[in-house]
Amino acid sequence: MSVVSIILVNYNQEQLTIKSLESIRRFLDAKETELMVLDNASRSWEKLQAYCDSQRVLFFRNEKNLGYAAAVNRCIRQASGEYIFLLNNDAFFIEPFTFRKVLEEMRGDTGMAGFHILNEDRSTQYSIYRFPSLFYYLMDMIRLSRVFPIFSDLIRNRKRYTVTGRYRDMYLKGVAMLFHKKTVEDAGLFDEKIFLYGEETDLQFRLVKQGRAILYYPDIRVVHLGSMGTGDNFLKLGYIQKSLLYYFNKHYGRFSRNVLRAFMMFETGLKSLLFLLFNKEKSSGYLNLFRSLRKNGRSSL
């Protein structure tokens, strides 16, 4: 039995996934670990499968893309490790690391651990956030965090990225997550009704509600390219909006969900009008988001 099972999900990005796997093999002390890759119905996957077979990486494939959460859950169920390390396939390591010390930090009531996420230029990538609420969404929407530093600290506190911390009011970006398999199984795994984006937020919120803490461990650093799986920024924003609406409906109720939807419609509608003056492509993108939100109406997600 392995101590840590490392899981990556691939969707139409064979070379990027291979790069991520190679960084793990290069920098990780791989004793008592297993590597698992699941291809989520990509158009082309044969090269990735051949690589996995040659490197003794377990390879699985879904014939239909059921979403990121469903793909991860399938791997978790089949993993032999006591712990699960979930890594985005557009993330990779740049220096040697080991899980030994962070596993010691995870003893007790820790529900999940995350690491120091870097941009491609090695600057810090924001990855610690307060759980979504109407207040924080509104602060971000009207850009108060850019005008007044106090609001920036409420949403993205830069000081947190330098020290180990345990949080019960924050969640970590799902680029690189380490958790005890049984803890997450007991919490119900990832919510498969969330197709893409936000599934880690929902899971961490449930863990915190069960009395668990979220551990931020900066000694392990991971470079994240970001948004490579979708490519289209408006497609990504559409998934994020849908996931947020589902999250609010699930945890805060229909009223909060409908208020959030109203905020989203105001924001996307206004941006569509403003960009109409100098960028018709962006205006069209925001208009499509507005129409999608209006079409959803008050129907449950």
Buried b (16+ CB within 10 A) or exposed e, 136-149: bbebbeeeebeeee
Q: What pLDDT, on a 0 to 100 scale, did the predictor assign at position 148?
A: 63
What's the DSSP call for residue 124? Answer: B
Q: State residue 101 phi and psi, 5-degree precision.
A: -70, -40
Q: Are 45 and 11 in contact (CB under 8 A)?
A: no
Q: Are 6 and 85 in contact (CB under 8 A)?
A: yes
Q: What pLDDT, on a 0 to 100 scale, did the predictor assign at position 300?
A: 45
Q: What pLDDT, on a 0 to 100 scale, did the predictor assign at position 301?
A: 44
What phi-psi label fits residue 226: left (phi over 0), alpha (psi between -120 and 50 degrees) or beta?
A: left
Sequential pLDDT tens for the chain (301 residues)? 579 999 999 999 999 999 999 999 999 977 779 999 999 999 999 999 999 999 999 999 999 999 999 999 999 999 999 999 999 999 999 999 999 999 999 988 999 999 999 999 999 998 998 899 998 888 877 766 666 666 666 556 667 788 999 999 999 999 999 999 999 999 999 999 999 999 999 999 999 999 999 999 999 999 999 755 555 689 999 999 999 999 999 999 999 999 999 999 999 999 999 999 899 999 999 999 999 999 876 544 4
Going from N- to C-terminal start, the domains of the chain cover 4-224, 233-296
Domain 4-224, CATH number (from 3.40.50.1360, 3.90.550.10, 3.20.20.70, 3.90.340.10): 3.90.550.10
Query: Three-state SS for 13?
Result: coil
Q: What pLDDT, on a 0 to 100 scale, did the predictor assign at position 297?
A: 66
Cβ neighbours around 78 below 10 Å, total? 13
Q: Are 188 and 58 in contact (CB under 8 A)?
A: no
Look at the pTM and tell me if it is higher than 0.85: yes
